[in-house]
Amino acid sequence: MTLANGRPYLAIPGPSVMPDRVLAAMQRPSPNIYEGPLADLTETLWPDLRALAGTAENVAIFIANGHGTWEAANANLFSRGDKALVLATGRFGHGWAESARAMGVEVEMIDFGTSTAIDPARLEAALRADTEGRIRAVLATHVDTSSSVKSDVPALRAAIDAAGHPALLAVDCIATMGCDEYRMDAWGVDVTVAASQKGLMTPPGLGFVWFSEKARAVTARSDLRTPYWDWGPRADAAEFWQYWAGTAPTHHLFALREALDMIGEEGLPNVWNLHKALARTVHVAIDAWGAGNPAIALNVADPAARGHSVTAARFGSPDAARLRQWTETEAGVTLGIGLGQVPADGWLRVAHMGHVNAHMTLGALAVMEAGLKALGIPHGQGALSAAAAVVAAEA
Ligand SMILES: *Cc1c(COP(=O)(O)O)cnc(C)c1O
């Protein structure tokens, strides 16, 4: 017998669960892509996207996933031979660096490993050492989805200012937009990238790049910019097609409109608080299991350095892979694979991003506990009541 029938739950860090309202919004015939409802709807997106990132500045939408937004940012920020200073806290930081390198940008990497946040003092020292001023931009990841490490973005700005360096600050918020608190202007960020399929509850395919006027001015002569990736017309299109450099991503835009309405109805601070509470349920549960088995542990020891949309944890090799297999085939919950951790089959990730609520996360945790029992994996007691207590206290 399997207990997996019923509505499956994809608890991986993107694509996330799509709300029925978002799915329903896409059930329509192809619209006119020159004028009319689609063009009118698009005009309503810009103020909401600015508010989402906490900026009064520019935003461009690319028909792309997260990797596409890295290239979009690189193409606008850099000229061939410019230098990027990349601060990595997991696989995705390295991914942005590889993208920049492949485009002809010289990359200086500071690798903070996979369990600790960026140390702003090392950023400041690297910028002070750049006496020729070759570093055009600092690229950092808010939460690296592979490790679930969160870094303190205002502290990065403060380190750049303390060094007196003109480098722009660009931040990957693909895992955090609409999940963790983020305030682009207040935190002094010049460029922010995000994608549609995580906290924004929309199918993969829309990539967002927010950029300051300062970033636009500093990079006006960047020679990596090509027509498709140029952020200029996308932020200030004279004609509707120029927002997209061609055909609009029609149905994605209806989906995004609905998702932004849902976030607006809930209120962004409430959405942040929900993610914070659900993250805590996962943290206390894994801590409790780990108390009975040293192989089980959260990846990030410092609570302040844990992202609120995804949790990476060690369950031991190959028990993490066995547990993932069990929860999917026996109970209908798909957990995230270990990414960038060694050995990969000793790690897993639980996503709690976007359209999630207490019953979904508590359900996923209960299924994980059932799997630990079914597979005979030793674990400490009290995980589920600890998680329930978090919900009782936060609700
Ligand atoms: C998911 C993710 C990416 C990659 O996005 P894709 O849409 O898979 O290309 C990059 N960075 C972070 C932080 C992510 O969470």
The Cα–Cα gap between 344 and 325 comes to: 14
Token pair listed for 251: 């149905």
Separation of 62 CA from ligand 1 center, angstroms?
14
pLDDT in tens, the chain (395 residues): 889 999 999 999 999 999 999 999 999 999 999 999 999 999 999 999 999 999 999 999 999 999 999 999 999 999 999 999 999 999 999 999 999 999 999 999 999 999 999 999 999 999 999 999 999 999 999 999 999 999 999 999 999 999 999 999 999 999 999 999 999 999 999 999 999 999 999 999 999 999 999 999 999 999 999 999 999 999 999 999 999 999 999 999 999 999 999 999 999 999 999 999 999 999 999 999 999 999 999 999 999 999 999 999 999 999 999 999 999 999 999 999 999 999 999 999 999 999 999 999 999 999 999 999 999 999 999 999 999 999 999 98
User: What is the DSSP code (8-state) at residue 291?
Assistant: T
In sequence order, the β-bridge partners of residue 210 are: 59, 192
Each domain of the chain, given as residue ranges in start order, spans 9-16+267-394, 31-264
DSSP 195-236: ETTSTT-S-S-EEEEEE-HHHHHHTTT-TT--TTT-HHHHHS
The Cα–Cα gap between 43 and 178 comes to: 20
**What pLDDT score was predicted for residue 1?**
84
Cα of 319 vs its chain's centroid, Å: 27
On the 0-12 / 13-18 / 19+ scale of CB atoms within 10 A, 58 is: buried
- In 3D, which of 96, 175, 95 has the Cα closest to residue 336? 175
Question: Which residue has its alpha carbon closest to ligand 1 atom 12?
Answer: 174
**Residues with Cβ within 8 Å of residue 187, at least 6 apart in sequence:** 54, 153, 154, 157
- Name residue 142's amino acid: H
CATH architecture of 9-16+267-394: Alpha-Beta Complex (3.90)
Helix/strand/coil for 349: strand
User: What is the DSSP code (8-state) at residue 317?
Assistant: T
DSSP 362-375: HHHHHHHHHHHHHT
Separation of 83 CA from ligand 1 center, angstroms?
23
The answer to whether the CB of 91 is under 6 A from ligand 1 is no
CATH fold group of domain 31-264? Aspartate Aminotransferase; domain 2 (3.40.640)
The answer to whether the CB of 67 is under 6 A from ligand 1 is yes
**What pLDDT score was predicted for residue 242?**
97
Which long-range contacts (C-beta less than 8 Å, at least 24 apart) are formed by 200-203?
Answer: 200/256, 200/259, 200/260, 200/263, 200/354, 201/16, 201/17, 201/18, 201/19, 201/22, 201/259, 201/262, 201/354, 201/355, 202/18, 202/22, 202/252, 202/255, 202/256, 202/259, 203/15, 203/18, 203/252, 203/255
Cα of 146 vs its chain's centroid, Å: 10
pTM of the model: 0.98
Question: Which residue has its alpha carbon closest to ligand 1 atom 15?
Answer: 175
- In 3D, which of 379, 376, 375 has the Cα closest to residue 291? 379
Cβ proximity of 138 and 85 under 8 Å:
yes
Cα of 93 vs its chain's centroid, Å: 12
**What pLDDT score was predicted for residue 395?**
87
In sequence order, the β-bridge partners of residue 209 are: 60, 193
Token pair listed for 24: 């329903």
In sequence order, the β-bridge partners of residue 140 are: 87, 171
Token pair listed for 365: 């945790």
- In 3D, which of 135, 143, 194 has the Cα closest to residue 168? 135
Mutate to test the pocket of ligand 1, among 89, 118, 145 (most ligand atoms within 8 A of CB): 145
Instruction: Return the ligand 1 atom nearest residue 143 CA.
Output: 13
Rg (CA), the chain: 21
DSSP 95-120: HHHHHHHHTT-EEEEEE-TTTS---H
Question: Which residue has its alpha carbon closest to ligand 1 atom 6?
Answer: 66
User: What is the DSSP code (8-state) at residue 62?
Assistant: E
Instruction: Return the ligand 1 atom nearest residue 207 CA.
Output: 7
Token pair listed for 352: 């709690």
Separation of 67 CA from ligand 1 center, angstroms?
6
Token pair listed for 151: 């870094």
